[in-house]
């Protein structure tokens, strides 16, 4: 069964909307874990628009599954990661003006720079994942850069405007998951996944982990966080 890592950034988004100290994403960690998730994902953005340094410190100290830190390959954030030492770092592209991560890293454009960052994080004891589009060239470059995992970007699959387009995007994900697995990489996936589109991605056998955030936190407003996580686990297992 594919593991679910819940991205809890948007608990912090709600907090930051008012500049108060609630809801606290740190309180979400045991709830998500007790509901059956296998890990906690947070994105420490350079502008600290939702998750803050204090959150990553407390989450690292209290997590009982694994902590996956999504981050840009920037000096400031690399230094935070080395101090906090999450179990896994996922490098993502980051633009200040974007609403959320848009597209995967362009690893193939500058593999040497990426290799330096990957090596620095691995030397500090963390596993490193690279968030890439489902594209053989990027997966191959990720391997050469030293990554242990690739996270395949599911955005195009989620945003496909017809059944035919969605089927093509799903085939691309399945093909790239097999390709990455054959190269010896662990394979994760995520971005934009929802209760109604997660099933086919969760059934790609080479994908061992999904990172899902917005849909779960949005459902939690009405159903509660425990139920929202359990319902996502059900949706992942649905035939």
Question: Which residues contribute to the site for ligand PXP (CB under 6 A)?
Answer: 7, 9, 43, 70, 90, 92, 100-101, 131, 151, 190-193, 211-215
Among this protein's residues, is 87 annotated catalytic? no
Annotated catalytic residue within 5, 43, 50, 153: 43
- CB nearer ligand PXP, residue 164 or residue 189: 189
| Minimum gap (Å) between residue 91 Cβ and ligand PXP | 9
- The rounded distance, in Å, linking the Cα atoms of 194 and 232 is 8
| Minimum gap (Å) between residue 25 Cβ and ligand PXP | 13
- CB nearer ligand PXP, residue 42 or residue 164: 42
Question: 75-84 vs 53-62: helix axis angle to the nearest 10?
Answer: 30
Among this protein's residues, is 191 annotated catalytic? yes
- The rounded distance, in Å, linking the Cα atoms of 92 and 135 is 15
Q: Which tokens sit at 45?
A: 């953005």
- Side-chain half-sphere of 71: how many Cα atoms within 13 Å? 28
- The rounded distance, in Å, linking the Cα atoms of 82 and 58 is 15
Among this protein's residues, is 43 annotated catalytic? yes
| Minimum gap (Å) between residue 104 Cβ and ligand PXP | 8
Annotated catalytic residue within 33, 70, 151, 169: 70
**Residue 31: Cβ within 10 Å count:** 18
- CB nearer ligand PXP, residue 77 or residue 164: 77
Annotated catalytic residue within 5, 50, 181, 191: 191
Burial per residue of 51-79, b for 16 or more beta-carbon CB atoms within 10 angstroms, e otherwise: bbeebbebbbeebebbbbbbbbbeeebbe
* Phi and psi torsions of 40, nearest 5°: -120, 125
- CB nearer ligand PXP, residue 164 or residue 185: 185
| Minimum gap (Å) between residue 228 Cβ and ligand PXP | 12
Positions marked catalytic: 43, 70, 191
């Amino acid at each position: 069964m594919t593991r679910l890592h819940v991205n809890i950034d948007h608990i912090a988004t709600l907090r930051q909307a008012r500049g108060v100290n609630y809801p606290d994403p740190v309180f979400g960690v045991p709830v998500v874990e007790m509901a059956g998730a296998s890990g906690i994902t947070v994105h420490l953005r350079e502008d600290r628009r939702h998750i803050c340094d204090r959150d990553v410190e407390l989450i690292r100290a209290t997590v009982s599954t694994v902590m996956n830190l999504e981050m840009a390959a920037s000096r400031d954030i690399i230094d935070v990661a080395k101090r906090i030492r999450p179990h896994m770092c996922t490098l993502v592209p980051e633009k200040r003006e974007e609403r959320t991560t848009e597209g995967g890293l362009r690893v193939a454009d500058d593999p040497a720079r990426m290799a330096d960052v990957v090596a620095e994080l691995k030397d500090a004891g963390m596993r490193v994942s690279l968030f890439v589009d489902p594209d053989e060239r990027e997966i191959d470059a990720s391997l050469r850069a030293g990554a242990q995992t690739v996270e395949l970007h599911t955005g195009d699959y989620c945003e496909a405007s017809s059944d035919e387009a969605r089927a093509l995007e799903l085939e691309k994900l399945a093909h790239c998951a097999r390709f990455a697995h054959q190269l010896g990489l662990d394979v994760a996936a995520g971005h934009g996944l929802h209760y109604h589109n997660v099933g086919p991605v969760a059934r790609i056998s080479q994908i061992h982990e999904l990172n899902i955030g917005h849909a779960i936190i949005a459902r939690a407003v009405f159903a509660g966080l425990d139920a929202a996580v359990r319902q996502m686990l059900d949706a992942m297992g649905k035939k």
